[in-house]
Structures are given as structure tokens and as C-alpha cells.
Amino acid sequence: MANNNHNILDFKNITKHYPGTVALNDVSFGIKKGEIFGLMGENGAGKSTLLKILSGAEQETGGEILLDGEKLTGNPYERRVKGISMVYQGLGLALELTAEENILLGNEKTSKIGTINHKAQVKKARSVMEKIGVDFNLRVPVYNLSADEKQLVAIVRAISLNAKVVALDEPTSSLSRNEVEKLFNIIRKLSKEENISFIFVSHHLDEVFKITERIAVLKDGQLQGVLETKDTNSQMLTEMMVGSKIMKQHTKQFFKENPVPDSNKVILEVKNLTRKGFFDNLSFKVREGEIFGIAGLLGSGRTPLIKSIFGAEVFDSGEIIFRGKKVKFLSPKQAIESGMVYLTDDRLNEGILKTMTVGENITIENMKKVSSKNGVINRKRNYDTQKEFIDKFSIRTTGVNQSMPSLSGGNQQKALFARLVNTDCDFLLLNEPSRGIDVKIKEEMHELMFNFVSSKSGRAIVMASSELPELVSTSSRVAVMRQGRIADILTGDDINEAKIIEKMV
């Protein structure tokens, strides 16, 4: 490969704004011809947005992409013809169509009058399949194929149109170990023999180490750096993904001076909690006055755990004892009525009510407080409550009637936190409380959390987070999860970034 230094693809200062959030901020890096390039980051770091901009499904707010030195433009189909192919996580196959039809979808071989020439299509598909040495039935609907065969259909489809760059989004998520190995061999072969470049998106560290040559790490829409895979290790990568480097200045530790004594009464006890495939045999106790941190990488089980406690998801076995009573909530409603509330990690899709006002978004979880027994809203009390929280949490709005999506991400998050506090529940389950918000509001959120637990007795918070500085700063103790198990529960001086990372990977 003589032209090894030649970049086939260049991202130049790519920026993407959504109302209220900056999804990507000035991201620049290049990918060489025939290179297998890893793209890593936690949820919401900007990986998917970057891929969507590359494919043409979304328009960048600023910056440009160069393919072979030329500015890349056009819709997804035009870009595919130019050599940019995507294999999305759901594979993007039409399951009712046959493999042959899927591979040539949008690029059919037709006769003069427009009918499909299946013979020619099969021939074309076969030629690609032989090139990479795979075989599957071309004539049956794709839903009849196994998971790895579907993956192969998607890859054959991706490279059938003279692909120069193929982006694979979490390609291994539905594959067994053997199948992953096979897939990797195919990727290596294509990169060596056909000089095709791959963008490999995955949150499995071991896979990324195995297959890639270089890795770019994104966090909160920022490029943290591009590393040579052989010069790095899981510790370094994890640090970059969870961002201990950039947030060093934020090291106020709320519980350092006054730790929560073991004698405090237990508010939540989790015993041997298990949900097959998600988490296994988890046990811990949360005491009055605590902010109990749960650390773990994407896929470690922190979200399923916290949602299962809340009754938004189910668990298979084990016990949850809340304020001395054994509970198993069948719905969030039951959990809220028993005195616990949940803050989602997916603000856009599970948190905000987009068509409603900021004020309504705050009071929605406790309408009882602002209405009579038979459900008639007391408009003055409603307004006063909304106004009270907007002032108390200094949410920046033009008023209670501003529409929720027009707030910045940080202020939306504060409004959601206000929604929880307005329920008068004394136990909060927070999932990524400061995801996608700027440093200043992050600190405000942390103050709000600490004030919450310290201002009244009988209160506690469980906080799942992928951000180490946040965990270190706000947690009284930190349970570190790894692949569905609690690797360790850290206390006191052990709550530091190095120790957490050591247990995480």
C-alpha cells in the first residue's frame, strides 16, 4: 500500500446543532485508504450523529466532509454511488424481501421494460459473495436467515456498489463469538484485498482492540483524540470516554468531609437481584442521606438495574426492600405512589413532553398537588407551583408557558429534576443526571442533588452515571458494575477516578 498516507475520508470541523443541544462540536479527523477505524464513545457522545451526517441522512450545521479530496454532497443514495456505505445497527434490511432483492435494492438489474432480471441479480450478488468467501440462500425472505447471515447480507449489500468506505454501527451486537470472528476475517480481507476502509462503531473494548488500526473517541460531541490502537489500552480509552481528563478542575467532593455513617437507617436494600442477560445477583444497601453512585460502561447493566427497581422494567428474581417493606413495582405509577421517582437518561425520547409548556412539564408528575380531589386544576396553585420551581432551580425561560423543546438541554434537565422534586418523594433514582449539559449547569445539578439529600432527613438518591468526575464528586459510595455484576463497592478515599476505572474494565 504505497498511498498509505492518503486519506480517503476527511471530516473537517463537523458541527451539528439541535435545538437545545450541540450534538457535535468542531470534529475533525481523517481515515486512510484500507484502514479499519474505530469510533468510540458513550451514549449521546455523537457517534450516530456523525454517521448520519456522513451518510447524508442529516445535514451538518458547519464543516465539511471530503471524500478522496472532494467535498461530499448529496442524498444517501448519491453518496452510496460515490462509495459511502452504511450498515446500521438494525441492519436496515427489508425483512420480507429476499436476500437478492435486498442486496440490489435501489440498484436493480432490469430488462428494457422495467421488469427485474433475477438471473442477473443473482449473478451480481454471487460475484460479491465469492469475493469475500461467504454463502447464504439468496432466494428466501431475509427473516428466514440467521442473525449472522443477515449481517452478511447487509455487508454484501454495502460493498456491492464499489464501496470505498463502509461504516458498521455496532455490527456485533447480535452475533455469537464465533460469528464475530468470522465477520472480523471478512472485514480484514476486504480492507487488505479491496482497499475498502471501515468505520467500526462498537462499545466492546476487546473487539475494538482486535480489529481496528486507529480509534477516535467522542464525548459530548467533542473529539477527545485519535489513537493508534497498538499504543493504547482499555484504561486509556475508558478514561477518554468517561472524560476524566477534561473535567479535572471539578473536584469538589460533597461527602469527603462528612461521610454518611453506617448507622444511618437503610432506605433501599437490593438482594440478589437478577435479570437474565442484563444483570446478575446484585446486592447493596442505600442509607439515609446518601447519594449512592452506580458506575459502569455502556452495557454494564446500570440502566436495566435502575429501571427494574422503579418498575419500568422487570427483573427475574431477587428482592427489593424499600423503607422496610418488600416491594415489586409493576408500573412506574406504583413506585411513585410508594415514594420513589426516576430521572431518565434519554431526555428527548423518555423525558420531556415536547408539545407542552415548561410549567406543565414540571407539574405533570404530581397533578394531585395542583388540583382538587376530582381532578379540576386550580390554575393559581398550578401557576404558583410552576413559577416556584422555575425560580428555585433558576431555570432560564421566558416564563412558565415557554415550549419545552426551546429550552437549552441543561435547563430542560433542571426542569425534569424539578418534576421529580415536585412529587415530594424522598427517594430519587437518577440515570445520567448531567448527560449532555454544560459544565456550569452540571455543577448546579450536583448542588441541587446534594441539597436534596442533606436538607431533610429520610432522603437518599441512587445515581447511575458514566461520568467519573460526577461520580467522584457527588457520591457517598460507588458501586462499580461490570458486565451485569457489581465488581466492587467503593467507599471513602477509594472513590477516585483511577480506582473506578480499574474496576470498570
Partner 1 sequence: MVSIKKNNDVGKDKDNQQKNKTKSFVHLMLDNPAFSALIFLVIFFSIISTRFFSVNNIINIFTQVSITAIIAFGMTFVITSANIDLSVGSVLALAGMVFMALSVAGIPVFWGVLITIGLGALIGFFDGFVVTFFKLPSFIATLAMMTIARGLALLMRGGTTISQGIQPSYYWLGQSRIAGIPFPVIALMLIFLFMEFLMSRTTFGTYTRAIGSNPEAARLAGISNNRILIIIFAIVGICSAIAGIITASRLGVGSPVTGQMRELDAITAVILGGTAMSGGIGTIRGTFVGALVVTILNNGLTIMGVSSYWQQILLGLVLIGALAIKKFQRS
Binding site for partner 1 (CB under 8 A): 18-20, 57, 310, 312, 331-333, 335-337, 341-342, 344, 348-356, 360, 364-365, 367-368, 371, 375-377, 379, 402-406, 419, 423
Q: Which of 198, 179, 176 is nearest to 187 (CA)?
A: 198
Q: Which is nearer to partner 1, 229 or 411 (CB)?
A: 411
CB of 322 to partner 1, least distance (A): 16
CB of 387 to partner 1, least distance (A): 17
CB of 18 to partner 1, least distance (A): 6
Amino acid occupying residue 486: I
Q: Cα separation of 105 and 93, whole Å?
A: 9
CB of 48 to partner 1, least distance (A): 10
Contact 172, 183 (CB under 8 A): yes
CB of 442 to partner 1, least distance (A): 22
Q: Which is nearer to partner 1, 41 or 351 (CB)?
A: 351
Burial letters for 8-23: b for 16+ Cβ neighbours within 10 Å, e otherwise? bbbbbebbbeeebbbb
Give the distance, in angstroms, between the CA of residue 319 and the centroid of all CA atoms in the same chain.
28
CB of 402 to partner 1, least distance (A): 7
Q: Cα separation of 167 and 154, whole Å?
A: 11
Q: Cα separation of 90 and 472, whole Å?
A: 36
Q: Cα separation of 396 and 415, whole Å?
A: 10
Q: Which is nearer to partner 1, 2 or 376 (CB)?
A: 376
Amino acid occupying residue 243: G
Q: Cα separation of 187 and 211, whole Å?
A: 8
Contact 128, 102 (CB under 8 A): no
Q: Which is nearer to partner 1, 102 or 344 (CB)?
A: 344
CB of 275 to partner 1, least distance (A): 18
Q: Which of 421, 413, 437, 451 is nearest to 254 (CA)?
A: 451
Q: Which is nearer to partner 1, 121 or 303 (CB)?
A: 303
Q: Which is nearer to partner 1, 20 or 433 (CB)?
A: 20
SS3 30: strand
C-alpha cell at 480: 462499580
Q: Which is nearer to partner 1, 172 or 382 (CB)?
A: 382
